[in-house]
Amino acid sequence: MRLNLGLKFLSMIAALTLVAACETVPEDTGDSSGSGATSQASSTTGSTGSSTSGTVVNKVQPGSQEDLVLNVGDRAFFGFDKYNLTAEARSTVERQSAWLKANPSVTVTIEGHADERGTREYNLALGDRRATAVKNYLVTLGISSSRVASLSYGKERPVALGHNNDAWSQNRRGVMTVN
Amino acid sequence: MSNLARKGSLVLSSLFMFAAVSLPAHAELVVDITQGNIQPLPVAITDFHSATEVAGLVGQKIADVIRADLERSGLFKPIDKRAFLQKPKELQTIPVFSNWRKIDAQGLSTGLVKALPDGQLYVEFRLWDVFSEQHLMGEKLITSPTNWRRIGHKIADKIYERLTGESGYFDTRYVYVSESGPANRRVKRLAIMDQDSERHQFLTDGSNLVLTPRFSPTRQEITYLSYFNKRPRVYLLNIDTGQQEVLGEFPGMTFAPRFSPSGNQVVMTMAENGNSDIYLMDLRTRAVKRLTKHPGIDTAPSFSPDGSQITFESDRGGRQQLYVMNVDGTNPRRISFGRGNYGTPVWSPRGDLIAFTKLTGGKFSIGVMRADGSQERILTEGFHNEGPSWAPNGRVLIFFRQIPGRRKGEEDKVRLWSIDLTGYNEREVISPRDGSDPAWSPLNSE
């Protein structure tokens, strides 16, 4: 895996948060509370309980959702009513692309999400735009489109429950989930 | 039975068919409903008289339904029956009008219920103008006793129609999305209930995310979005049989469905490769026609009642705004030009107005404008109001409102609300749990 040290460090923070916040990777990944490899995401996933042991990290199966969340970052974030990839989102997707190349048998779904500050139907369309933006960039980076499905949840599956800019910025996201 | 009743011919019907029992008189009693803040009209709705105790109980319950319907409309003020100076039994001939003037009743309804030998229920009711001492209308019907709620709603509709000159909306239902659980693990189920929140029933079990149910204008059918098998698609559900089917074989997500006025077509959106466009499907031939072809988001289509045009929302102009196009997709033109974003347009059954959700200044409002975009009026505004749906007479809207918990840890409330077209008479529509995406049914026809 071609991760630099800085990313590994961030991933460790994410991992420690995740141990507490996300004991199992939910099957309905629309609810995934997995954390991105950015401090913005990892600081707000509602960590309770004490962080523990690196053994959990050691058990991670390469190519699994956990592996993706811990070592790569499963999600890219978007601006309000936007679906273009920011520089930060692009670098997340680039890592995801490298990870998909390292795990060639893995297929994924990109879930597009919107914050609550839009109407239902519009947000479904916006979520589709966001999922597609991530998918298209992965394809540009050399991932076969047959490995990447997309799905919009609109505003139906927020991860942050507040009614403020911080919560909304976490909910405007494209999340990669391993099929 | 009074002389008036004998003038009419008895019409037997296994379901609901009203038979006039006397010639209608000219009304002097009229509720002017063009003004917003009207004084509700005081009416006396008496219990339906019966010679037997069992039928008498039904007679009371029917009157309760009528009183509650009329009160909820905001146009009538049913007088507490404890103030009445004549008993139901004494009202089977011409009422003593002076007794009703004493308690300021302007309209008076009287009635009779009887259990027939075959087990059917015979119901007769009359409406009187207290001040002119006129008989305004008389009707009778025969039906199954289990239909007593609908009898109440139908009579309330008759009274509403006679006194306002507009069609009623009490014998109707809502389909909506019942919600429970925390926002990040929300369970959503299709549910249906009467217009007065009674006879609530779940239509789906919550195992799949469901959104935006809409009634067929002509059949006992609902179209809605389900995430069954993680493939979000528009479905058709038969309410009576429970049978469901996915509509069409689209390569991408389909959503935002609505029936055409004939009930024979469904207009919906398909999203594919990041682009959402509007499609029309004929339910008989299953032929699909694409109506918009634009890289912007085109969604939330709604037919005009004459079937000739479709209003929808689009961000093709840079922001989410309302548009109208011909039913074949030609001549799309923008109609909303105010500040902010507009979504969820829905055409009034009368054809003159379009209701919408407006997003501006961090608030979500429900408003109406004329179909050409003029005369925009906001009816209610707040943190989050969304998704209006019209009562079949075009006078009342139902929508949903989210109220954030005020303290940390306090859960949000997501509830159904209704409001008069005038902006008055705003009230919560009670549902057992949280609710969203309400759709008003047409008037029950059977």
Give CA separation, B141 vs A73, A86, B47, B56, B241, in Å. 68, 68, 16, 16, 28
Predicted confidence at residue A17, as pLDDT, reads 43
Question: Which residue among B188, B274, B357 sits closest to A132, beta carbon to beta carbon?
Answer: B274
Residue pLDDT, tens place only, A105-132: 999 999 999 999 999 999 999 999 999 9
Predicted confidence at residue B34, as pLDDT, reads 62
Q: Which residues contact B362 (CB under 8 A, 6 or more apart)?
A: A117
Residue B64: count of CB within 10 angstroms of its CB: 16
Residue pLDDT, tens place only, B158-208: 999 999 999 999 999 999 999 999 988 999 999 999 999 999 999 999 999
Predicted confidence at residue B2, as pLDDT, reads 37
Assess A46–B contact: CB distance below 8 Å, yes or no.
no
pLDDT band at A19 (very low <50, low <70, confident <90, very high): very low
Which residue is it, tokens 């309209």? B107
Alpha carbons B199 and B27: distance in angstroms, whole number: 35
Q: What is the CATH number of domain B3-164?
A: 3.40.50.10070
The answer to whether A128 contacts B184, with C-beta atoms less than 8 Å apart, is: no
Task: Fill in the DSSP letter of residue B248.
Answer: S
CA distance, residue A122 to nearest chain B CA (Å)? 7
Q: In chain B, which residues have pLDDT < 70?
A: 1-37, 446
Give CA separation, A129 vs A60, A126, B75, B249, in Å. 31, 5, 46, 21
Give CA separation, B55 vs B48, B62, B63, B366, in Å. 9, 10, 12, 44
Structure tokens at B336: 């909303």
Q: Which residues of B touch A33 (CB under 8 A)?
A: 184
- Give domain limits for chain B: 3-164, 173-440
Helix (H, G, I), strand (E, B), or coil: what is residue A122? helix
Of B430, B397, B405, nearest in space to B415 by CA: B430
Alpha carbons B388 and B365: distance in angstroms, whole number: 10
- The answer to whether B125 touches B48, Cβ cutoff 8 Å, is yes
Q: How many residues does chain A have?
A: 179
Buried (b) or exposed (e) across B302-341, using 16+ Cβ within 10 A?
A: bbbbeeebbbbbbbbeeebbbbbbebebeebeebbeeebb
The boundaries of the domain holding residue A137 are: 5-178
Task: Name A113's bridge partners.
Answer: A154
Percent of chain A residues topping a pLDDT of 70: 68
Binding-site residues on chain B for chain A (CB distance < 8 A): 182-186, 188, 209, 211-212, 230, 232, 252-253, 255-256, 269, 271, 273-276, 297, 299-300, 313, 315, 320, 343-344, 357, 359, 362, 383-384, 386-387, 402, 404, 437
Alpha carbons B150 and B172: distance in angstroms, whole number: 9
Number of domains in chain A: 1
Predicted confidence at residue A76, as pLDDT, reads 98
CA distance, residue A175 to nearest chain B CA (Å)? 15
Residue pLDDT, tens place only, B64-108: 999 999 999 999 999 999 999 999 999 999 999 999 999 999 999
Predicted confidence at residue A159, as pLDDT, reads 96
Residue pLDDT, tens place only, A35-94: 444 434 333 343 333 444 444 556 899 999 999 999 999 999 999 999 999 999 999 999
The answer to whether B297 contacts A122, with C-beta atoms less than 8 Å apart, is: yes
Which residue is it, tokens 């398909």? B270
Of B221, B433, B270, nearest in space to A152 by CA: B270
Angle at A82 between CA B176 and CA A64, to 5 degrees: 80
Q: Which residues contact B276 (CB under 8 A, 6 or more apart)?
A: A124, A125, A128, B269, B270, B297, B298, B299
- The answer to whether B87 touches B433, Cβ cutoff 8 Å, is no
The answer to whether A163 contacts B383, with C-beta atoms less than 8 Å apart, is: yes
Q: Which residues of B touch A122 (CB under 8 A)?
A: 297, 299-300, 313, 315, 320, 343
CATH architecture of B173-440: 6 Propeller (2.120)
Query: What is the largest distance, in Å, between two alpha-carbon atoms of chain A?
Result: 44
CATH code for the domain of A44? 3.30.1330.60
Angle at B306 between CA B302 and CA B312, to 5 degrees: 20
The chain A residue lying nearest B225, using CA atoms, is: A121
